[in-house]
Amino acid sequence: MAYVRSIEHADIVHRCFRCGYCKFPSDYVDFNCPSHKAFGWDTFSSGGRMWLIRAWLSGEIETSPRFAQILFSCVACGNCEAQCVYPRFKDFLLNIFEETKSELVDEGKIPPTVRDYFKAITVNGNPYKLPQDKRGEWSEGMGIEEFSGQEYLFYVGCVGSYDEVGREMARSVGKLLKDLGVSFGILGAEETCDGNEVKVLGEKGLFTALAEENIIKFKAKGVKKIVTLDPHALNVFRREYPKLGGAFQVRHYTEVVADAIGGGRTSFGPLKTRVTYHDPCYLGRRNLIFEPPREVLRAVPGLDLVEMRRWAVDSFCCGGGGGNFFTDVIGTGEQSPARVRVREALETGAEVLAVACPQCAKMLVDGVKAEGIEDRLEVMDIAQLLSRAGLA
């Protein structure tokens, strides 16, 4: 029996002209669509996807592994949404991609790595297939309290809880927040996946279950404010949880740190180094938080902050968005986004590539290794950099 295909925004898919503005940053310096850059075919750009979705909806092409690869390699970085020239259409580009992925999920025709990701979340509650009671291990010996009504819940997320690079970052941020006197607690082993990637990958049911569980838990514990380690968590808490009744005040740790040190309330020791900052898509382009991370970096005496050619709204994704951090549908190779991005960072003459997202951190660390430039460029989270500078 033929599968009946429909998506919520099917009636506007044909409005894409495939003019290609969506492939570029605002000044056209290079292709800024990561999957297009990685694969090199127009089909892997936003316009290509949109036209293929139209063909797929009308039955001109069938669901196939290639079609799934084209959709799931999208990193949901939002460059297309920022650059599309069609108002009242551009706002729905990412929805259309997500809705189509959701249909493939329903059809059961998704890449194996996406399937494995969903299974791991369902069975283990995290993509690493590690025990739940190890979630809080990153904080051991730090004297960080469980959440019990402090001003903020510090939400760490799956990568900060289980990944080696992420845990190091969680520890740095946790220590920094403590040093700055921020009132916060963590959920530790009680924390569960935020569901951002689950949603972007199209598993609506699983996402709703995760989000509702979190919302109930947060409310039961009296959480009003959340500070996140991961911009992906910030995104889903800010933009999706309110639709399910979970309205919390959500901030990224760089915002909280910027506030805490603002007006010279805290000063850091000197650190003579040249740093370039990589805007995480879910912090920058998707939630318009560009300045706080830079404000924090500029507060370090001697730190020379230089921008990459593509930054802020024009920033180039590390390739980890849209679930690709876990599923790697976008793949590796010379034109993989992380490798392209670290080469761009190197061009600035920076010694440190600063990040504010555990997923970006891991992706770019791997990019540096793949490029063989470990001796020339160090990837560091902002909190780690501040720790190196030290409180004055």
Partner 1 sequence: MKDILRSLVDILGERGVSNAAEELWFYARDPGVLEAHFPDYVVAPETTEQVRQVVRLANEEKIPIVPMGNGMALTGLVIPLKGGIVMDMKRMNRILEVNEKARYAVVEGGTSQGALKAYLQDHHPQLRHSLPDAPPTTTIAANVSLHGQGRLTQQYGFNSDMVTGLEVVLPTGEVCKIGSPSLGPYWFSKGPTLPDLSGLFLGWLGTTGIFTKVGLKLYPNKKIRDVEIFVTDRVDLVPDIIYKLTHLEMLEDINAWFQPRPLMFKDNYHITMYFTGDTEEEVEFKRKMIWDSLEEFIVTKDGGFMGVGYMKPMLLEMPQRGIAAFADVPRGGGFEYSGPITLIEHYPDYALKVMELAEKYEVIYSSAARVVSGGHSMMFSISFAFNRADAAMMERVKKALDEATEFALEKGGIPWKPNYKEQRMTLEKLDPNTLKLLQMVKRNLDPNGIMNPGNWEVS
Residue ranges binding partner 1 (CB under 8 A): 12, 14-21, 23-24, 27-30, 39-43, 48, 51-52, 55, 60-62, 64, 66-67, 70, 85-86, 89, 309, 333
Closest CB to partner 1 among 30 and 213?
30
CA pair distance 84, 103, nearest whole angstrom: 24
Question: Based on C-alpha coordinates, what's the Rg of the chain?
Answer: 20
CB of 79 to partner 1, least distance (A): 13
Closest CB to partner 1 among 28 and 183?
28
Ranges of beta strands (E only) in 182-223 are: 184-185
CB of 35 to partner 1, least distance (A): 13
CA pair distance 257, 280, nearest whole angstrom: 17
Closest CB to partner 1 among 68 and 76?
68
CB of 320 to partner 1, least distance (A): 21
Which tokens sit at 222?
Answer: 């009296």
Closest CB to partner 1 among 53 and 365?
53
Closest CB to partner 1 among 7 and 379?
7
Q: What type of residue is 5?
A: R
Closest CB to partner 1 among 67 and 316?
67
Q: Which residues have C-beta within 8 Å of that of residue 264, sequence separation ≥ 6?
A: none
CB of 9 to partner 1, least distance (A): 13
CA pair distance 21, 31, nearest whole angstrom: 10
Name the β-bridge partners of 250. 226
CB of 386 to partner 1, least distance (A): 32
For residue 205, count other CB atoms closer than 10 A to its CB.
11
Closest CB to partner 1 among 176 and 330?
330
Buried-state track 353-372, b at ≥16 Cβ within 10 A, e below 16: bbbbbbbbbbbbbbbbeebe
Which tokens sit at 278?
Answer: 């990589």
Task: Write out the H or E segment, with its range, that includes residue 274.
Answer: strand 273-277
CB of 161 to partner 1, least distance (A): 36
